[in-house]
A and B are shown apart, each in its own frame.
Chain A
Amino acid sequence: MADWQQPARGLSQVAAEPSYLSVYGLTKSYGAVRALDNFSLDFGGGQCTVLLGPSGCGKTTVLRSIAGLVSPDTGRINIDNSAVFDAATGTNVPPEKRRLGMVFQSYALWPHLSVEQNIAYPLISAGLSKGEIASRTKAMLEWIGLAGLGERYAHELSGGQQQRVSLGRAMVAKPRAILFDEPLSNLDARLRERMRLELLALRQQAPFTAIYVTHDQLEAMTLADRVVVMRAGSIEQVGSPEDVYKRPRTRFSAEFVGIPNLLGGTVRSAIGADMVVETVVGVVAARGWRSDWSPGAKCTVAVRPSLICLRCEATTDARRGSIIRSVYQGTSTIYLVELDGTQLTVESLSEERHAPGSTVAVMPTPGAVFAVLDD
């Protein structure tokens, strides 16, 4: 297995100039189903943009539209300021002329070609000389850590190795951007984690423009420079991974980045976006997306599980709940706590264990609570 943590040799052979991509007003319907609804986004050059969302949210349609495998009904797609697709003018550059690379969920390695031939394929299509094809293929094989395996066929490789061949094939022709369509979801959990870290190291070495589609929030958090949460064909929220996790805009975003605690609350007072909200976990300070809150208004707050403290001995005004279930996970323990008929998920790093049935004080730490927009 290659160690991408190490500085790679021959980087100039594989790195390409990062290109800027942008899409404007993409709409695509399949029969009565609207897969994309007026979708616009800029993809920064050299950045990794992760499209995150549940299946059917349109993320793959965006990716396939950029690749040229799907023709949107309306809208425009630019690469480096020239249109590769424009519904208004009828421009539609075919996929083979867009100079992109793509990594598929199924790897899509051609079974009748060897590893070497798979990687050389885009170079042959580009009509390069034999010598150049051979040297660039060799450099890429080395770079993905499969030197010496070039004669093998895809079915003779492990899942992780196949994924690397797929990546090598996507990168070898120095594409303007690389599109990733849920590339890790066919791997088992351990290999997925390892490949995720390898991809991250790779991106740090060669900052190509990447568009990455996934439904796995962990992949999104690790790999993204920018996360785009998608829902029903349009954008729910755009931001850095930290931004989206700490300041989810909506209930949907919060649920999708993995915040299970969405509680009802009543606004006590508000100054701009800062407010005080009464919830089952007590009267807490919160920040929100809107700044037009008035006292007495109902709102929904997201409370991250890792920012709630459980204590056996109660301080004065803490709310009490009872432990329903505890799940030991090694580094942390997940508790399900019931408070006035509301269930909360709490993640505790503390060594202190609470038995099911015991009563605990529930105390959110400062910054734990964020008011989100209702759907």
Chain B
Amino acid sequence: MLSVLMVSYPVVVVALRAVSKKEIGSALTLEWLTAVFESSRSAEALVNTAIYTAGSSAVAMTLGVGLAFLSTRTDMPGGRSIGFLSLLPMLVPPFILVVGWVALADPNAGFINILASSLIGTRTTWVNINTMTGLIWMTGLFLTPYVYLLAAAGFRNSDASMEEAARVAGAGHLRLLYTVILPLQRPALLAALLLVIIMAAGDFIIPATVGLKARIYMLPSLIWQNQGSLPGQPGLAAAQSLLLVIVGLLCIYFQRRALSLGGRYTIVGGKGVSPMLFSLGRLRYPLGAAAILFALSSSVIPLLAVGSMAFMRYWSPYALKPANLTLRNFQYVLFEYPQVWPSAQHSLFLALAGATCCVGLAIALAWYVIRTRGRFAGAVEYAMVLPLGIPGIALGIGILSLWILVPGGIYGTLWILLLAYVTAHIPVAMQFVGSALHGIHTDLEDASRIAGQAWTGTIRRVDIPLMRSALIGAWLLMYVVILREISLVILLYNPSTVVLSVGLMDVWSSGFYPELAVFSLLLLVLGLAPVAVLWKFARFAPD
């Protein structure tokens, strides 16, 4: 029951704060809610957020579904490696993507524009990341793997016999695609679309970095400014958050509905006949090359750009020469920059403790919901969906608005950050643990009880060993996600609890890009270290 409260109070608190003149408990007012639509900056942000969400969702859906289809259902060369490359960005912090694309597409010093200039001879700007198109492009790339994951699973598991039936009934290739294959995936695709809408609308990092630099205001970045800067407008921030929460929860509602209605699309039987591969004919190699280029541009290319930027003495249009190579940035960031080690310690502590808490709590909750089926099982199940629909920045507002009222409480300590991380990420951990627990036949537990083990011993000796790879997978995912998380903590940290991702924002605002590159590589390395060690023991697909 406590867990239900834990994940649901932020919604209530955000709503209360949005209609309170000052802190919660003061006089009620509608001024903040009207200000969301009437203040010119806020109204502008509203329009921008809508364009940004629609655009990046469209990019992500096109790329994700396209890559998934090409790599699973066609004879395109290199399908498997494209599958791996498409998922790689999930492991790379989005900050790398941002820094990498700035390095590539900055109007002045971006590698692409430098290349263009040297080809043409005069200064030319082919691409400019500091535009709405640039923002949409980056976010679209960032969200593509999530679409890919859902779509590829659907395409891979589709039943060959249904398609064969359609072909026998006289459907040609394209007709087959439009009348059978895609309609069968409709629930999965709708779920993917709603997921990326939530993620795009609530995305913080891209609007707050490149977005603010380009003076393209969006709701999450405005919430940050209204809450954080002085003189702030916390009421307005809460009202804007409330809007995001409502959109997010609506999306979650429709997503769940799509997935549960999807039950009737579930294919029974289908004995391992692999579905037919579409022949691409002459387009095979061009499409393959394009797919690889897209897959690379979301992880490997930005990573290379960040990597090379990190070794440059300074960063300007004419800095690309061997004489400019240096290790100075590494020395500065790793050994001289005062913030870096304390914040790395905080980050590591939070990621280790947060991942462990999430997985531990998820085991307890999943056991309660699935096995005990106690009185509150239904409530817990529903509540656990909530955080999936609440953007990090809004969840931050909710947690902040409550704990700021508690004198001598956890506000301003690392514990509030830990609480925020656990609140935000427990649902995903629970999905992993839950599906693993569903996969364990209850007879295995019953047999252990009868063989003389109490339920605690049964969990320890039977369930945990059987779920081990899923638990490790969940733990790693939590660790990586918490380490790079920023929207949640940007409102909750204070100078004594700075974490690496917040430190990155500081370096960003200082504008010294080579140091920024080193800093983001540090985040990447810390994140990937345990993944590299534990990779072979883990299972990531929650199925």
A residues whose Cβ falls under 8 Å from a Cβ of B: 67-69, 94-102, 104-106, 108, 110-112, 121-122, 125-126, 169-170, 173, 179
Contact = CB atoms under 8 A, between A and B. Distances in A.
A194 B447 CA distance: 25
A104 B466 CA distance: 19
Interface stretch (B363-371, B451-459, B534-542): B451-459
B450 A101 contact: yes
Given A110-B462, A112-B465, A112-B466, A102 B447 contact: yes
B479 to A, nearest CB: 24
A125 B446 CA distance: 14
7 contacts: A95-B450, A102-B446, A106-B443, A121-B451, A169-B451, A170-B450, A173-B452
B447 A108 contact: yes
A122 B449 CA distance: 9
Contacts of A105: 443
B447 A104 contact: yes
B448 interface: yes
Contact of B450 (A96, A106, A112, A126): A96
Given A108-B441, A108-B443, A67 B466 contact: no
Given A112-B465, A112-B466, A125 B443 contact: no
A110 B444 contact: yes
B contact residues, range? 10 to 19
Contacts of A104: 443, 446-447
The majority secondary structure among interface residues of chain B is helix
B451 A173 contact: yes
A100 B450 CA distance: 6
Given A108-B441, A110-B462, A112-B466, A94 B449 contact: yes
A104 B247 CA distance: 49
A246 B418 CA distance: 72
Residue of B441, B446, B451 with highest tally of chain A CB at under 10 A? B451
A96 B453 contact: yes
Contacts of A122: 451-452
B441 A125 contact: no
A125 B453 contact: yes
A283 B443 CA distance: 54
Interface string B460-481: 0110011000000000000000
Contacts of B465: 112
A69 B448 CA distance: 11
B129 to A, nearest CB: 50
| Minimum-distance CB pairs A-B, first 4 | A125-B452, A108-B443, A122-B451, A95-B449
A69 to B, nearest CB: 5
A166 B93 CA distance: 49
A255 B446 CA distance: 33
Contacts of A112: 465-466
Contacts of B454: 94, 96
Contacts of B461: 121
A69 B461 CA distance: 18
Nearest to B450: A102
Given A97-B452, A110-B448, A121-B453, 20 more contacts: A68-B450, A69-B449, A69-B450, A95-B446, A95-B449, A96-B449, A96-B452, A98-B450, A99-B452, A102-B450, A104-B446, A106-B441, A108-B444, A108-B447, A110-B444, A110-B466, A125-B451, A125-B453, A170-B450, A173-B452
Given A110-B462, A111-B466, A112-B465, A121 B448 contact: yes
A97 B457 CA distance: 13
B444 A126 contact: no
Nearest to B445: A108
Contacts of B450: 67-69, 95-96, 98, 100-102, 170, 179
Contacts of A126: 452
